[in-house]
Structure 1
């Protein structure tokens, strides 16, 4: 029997110069670099066999451009949704997450989260940084709306590594230790099936194997 699940291909955007430099991006609107544009073109080739009914991305240029390159190949219209944005990092944006005070604050955040219960993690707040509860409160409803609108269809959704990581942890696919920050690489793809309420992660290693 044919199911009516929406098949969401959830993708992280291509590389930016801030990715290379190890700078916190968050809501900062940083464009793809040359390698990022190449990655997006390679992604389009990997997804060539998928018949997409629609394409969505966050409204940040790095996700939007990645999606545009794939959508152009598919001849489908791209729609942007602000709720698909990366986690807001506030005053930490533009600073290195590998060194200095920012690195210390982020290390404290991740180590603190690792020790909290699931419910405590959702509400834990580092000043100026969007917590998991706030993040999922905008991200999940956006995905549900897409799933409800496209039952039985394939849909491309290009978003960001941090929000993808939080979503996968929310679904129980991993935790703070098995899915550490930075574990979702540029243009990685996850297939998510949804009935508009629940979500199920499907294995598509054949798409990610060359990442």
Structure 2
């Protein structure tokens, strides 16, 4: 089984450096162009299903791939972006200025401390487990699939899948990039094949 982890195309909030989180921000024109190029690049990576966050920026990106490959698109709520509560709509510089103590506590213990009104790392991890369980049950672990989600969530999802691989920690990938992982349903092992591939956007 091959798993293609895909981040949605660009939004205006991406350009501004604002945290989107649970806000339902659509792709901008550049993001739609990126999604089209991404869909073309996926021609070389045939899939049987696409699993997507229901947030519009991810759904729009996934729909272009689904339409081109004529495959089923499954919306999975646990793939939504990390919820940052009162920090959403702000840049990291603004958060540091407006919420210095909260940011410090969150940075020191994200497993148990959440942004004001947001979610903890433990909550995010549980969502990743739930998402993978759903995908594994639907595919039987034998179908090549794409998973379209968001920067922070994909970082945590990647870390969850590769938890037994030293050095494979959380990293934010680029908009409309492709990270490819192989999965063996017999051994339940994951292996990184390609990370943050974005040459199709040039």
TM-score normalised according to structure 1 size: 0.80
> Partner residue of 2:59?
64
SS in 1 for 2:154: helix
Aligned partners of 1:135 and 1:164: how far apart in 2? 10
| 2:156 maps to which of 166, 171, 183 | 166
> Partner residue of 2:111?
122
Matched, 1:140 2:135: no
| 1:10 maps to which of 5, 12, 15 | 5
Give CA-to-partner distance per residue, 1:106-151, whole Å, 9 cap, x none. Answer: 89748964xx5xxx54223333221111011012221222123213
Matched, 1:192 2:181: yes
Structure 2 segments unaligned to the other structure (5+ residues) = none
Q: Across the two proteins, how many residue pairs are aligned to each other?
A: 194
Matched, 1:26 2:21: yes
TM-score normalised according to structure 2 size: 0.83
Q: Quote how far apart the aligned CAs of 1:65 are.
A: 0.2
Matched, 1:90 2:85: yes
Structure 1 segments unaligned to the other structure (5+ residues) = 1-5
Aligned partners of 1:106 and 1:23: how far apart in 2? 17
SS in 1 for 2:129: helix
CA RMSD of aligned residues (A): 2.7
Shift in CA distance, 198/112, structure 1 to aligned 2, threshold 3 Å: farther
